């Protein structure tokens, strides 16, 4: 019988501006990624990148940037453009998965025009721009659900800015809620493996499929792994494993002998997901979620 030596897979996540852009509890996204990796024997290292820190793309496998108030975004916008722009662009063009929420989403577009003060220049990763129409216009606040890859994403949005897409592809179509601008049913934006969105909640605890999507992208990029369409049973954590005949888990996964990510017990996560759909009156979508994931 083959003997295995376990060497855990490792991923490194760069958390941009953890002290400045931390308004809505979106650290929960990082906690979710770390936990879902841990349960599969994958080590997720998290490194904070603040104002003044350079971004060396070769040192990271994933990136996350959250949201904050306008007064906090101004110095961040300057630092992002002057200190981290080149490294972030290189990472995105090399297909590194990036999750940018709310203010982070706005700063990865062309510009953010606040209700008062000068425009904040963005990186232009997403062909989009954001304008705050002033205090006389109601904020976009409340639960939101959207269609993404034939599935649903749910969360909570709270933003005064209205984002408009040029050629950028939206993350999803709004089923209930406001989305980018409360006008065209678009939500978020996608460029390569970079995802911008207004969904708080935090987003990933209530959307385990999207969390796993980001982890899979990172593993595929770093190790060349591919997702198995029909996952098979593997009694052990995901890892780089050497066997007697020289085959490694990385090699076996590349040939679809093993799944990329083992399924987890996500009953509570999907019940929370379905409860938001029900709250929004999307009863058939909620029932479909529970049928699919309880099975």
Report if residue 282 sits inside a domain. no
* Res 59: pLDDT: 98
Specify the number of domains making up the chain: 1
| CA-based nearest residue to 228, from 250, 258, 248, 252 | 258
Degrees to nearest 5, angle at CA 157 with 131 and 153: 120
Could you tell me the two tokens for 294?
């309880």
Report if residue 258 sits inside a domain. no
Report if residue 134 sits inside a domain. yes
Asked if pLDDT for residue 230 goes beyond 60, the answer is no
* Res 211: pLDDT: 98
Report if residue 259 sits inside a domain. no
CATH of the domain at 30: 3.40.50.880
Model confidence pLDDT, tens digit, residues 22-69: 877 789 999 999 999 999 999 999 999 999 999 999 999 999 999 877
Report if residue 233 sits inside a domain. no
169 annotated binding-site participant: no
Ordered DSSP codes for 173-188: EEEES-TTTSSS-EE-
Model confidence pLDDT, tens digit, residues 101-138: 999 999 999 999 998 889 999 999 999 999 999 989 99
The set of catalytic residues is 102, 200
Categorize the per-residue pLDDT at 89 as very low, low, confident or very high, splitting at 50, 70 and 90.
very high
* Res 161: pLDDT: 95
Report if residue 22 sits inside a domain. yes
Report if residue 185 sits inside a domain. yes
Spatial contact of 141 and 100, defined as CB atoms under 8 Å apart: no
Distance of CA 262 to the CA centre of its chain: 19
The CA–CA distances, whole Å, from 50 to 76, 79, 110, 123, 168 equal 9, 9, 21, 17, 28
Domain region containing 86: 5-212
Contacts of 85 (CB under 8 A, 6+ apart): 123
Spatial contact of 42 and 11, defined as CB atoms under 8 Å apart: yes
H-state helical runs in 3-117 = 27-38, 70-79, 85-93, 103-107
Categorize the per-residue pLDDT at 226 as very low, low, confident or very high, splitting at 50, 70 and 90.
low
* Res 293: pLDDT: 86
Q: Specify the pTM.
A: 0.88
Model confidence pLDDT, tens digit, residues 65-87: 998 776 778 889 999 999 999 99
First to last CA, the chain: 33
Spatial separation of the C-alpha atoms in residues 103 and 1, rounded to whole Å: 54
Other CB atoms closer than 10 Å to residue 115's CB: what's the count?
14
Report if residue 271 sits inside a domain. no
């Amino acid at each position: 019988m083959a003997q295995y030596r376990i060497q855990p897979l490792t991923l490194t996540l760069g958390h941009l501006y953890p002290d400045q852009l931390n308004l809505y509890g979106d650290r929960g996204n990082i906690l979710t990624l770390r936990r879902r990796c841990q349960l599969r024997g994958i080590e997720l290292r998290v490194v904070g990148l603040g104002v003044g820190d350079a971004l060396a793309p070769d040192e990271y496998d994933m990136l996350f940037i959250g949201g904050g108030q306008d007064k906090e975004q101004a110095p961040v916008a300057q630092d992002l453009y002057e200190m981290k722009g080149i490294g972030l662009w290189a990472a995105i063009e090399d297909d590194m998965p990036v999750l940018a929420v709310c203010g982070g989403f706005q700063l990865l577009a062309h510009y953010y025009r606040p209700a008062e003060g000068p425009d904040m220049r963005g990186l232009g990763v997403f062909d989009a721009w954001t304008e705050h129409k002033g205090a006389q216009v109601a904020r976009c606040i409340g639960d939101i659900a959207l269609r993404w890859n034939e599935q649903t994403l749910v969360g909570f949005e709270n933003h005064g800015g209205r984002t408009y897409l040029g050629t950028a592809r939206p993350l999803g179509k709004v089923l209930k809620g406001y989305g980018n601008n409360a006008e065209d049913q678009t939500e978020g934006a996608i460029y390569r493996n970079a995802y911008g969105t207004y969904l708080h909640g935090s987003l990933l605890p209530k959307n385990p499929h999207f969390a796993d999507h980001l982890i899979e992208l990172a593993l595929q990029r770093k190790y060349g792994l591919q997702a198995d369409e029909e996952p098979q049973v593997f009694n052990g954590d995901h890892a780089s494993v050497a066997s007697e005949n020289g085959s490694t888990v990385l090699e076996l996964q590349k040939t679809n002998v093993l799944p990329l990510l083992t399924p987890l017990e996500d009953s509570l996560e999907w019940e929370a997901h379905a409860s938001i759909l029900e709250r929004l009156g999307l009863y058939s979508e909620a029932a479909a979620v529970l049928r699919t994931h309880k099975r």
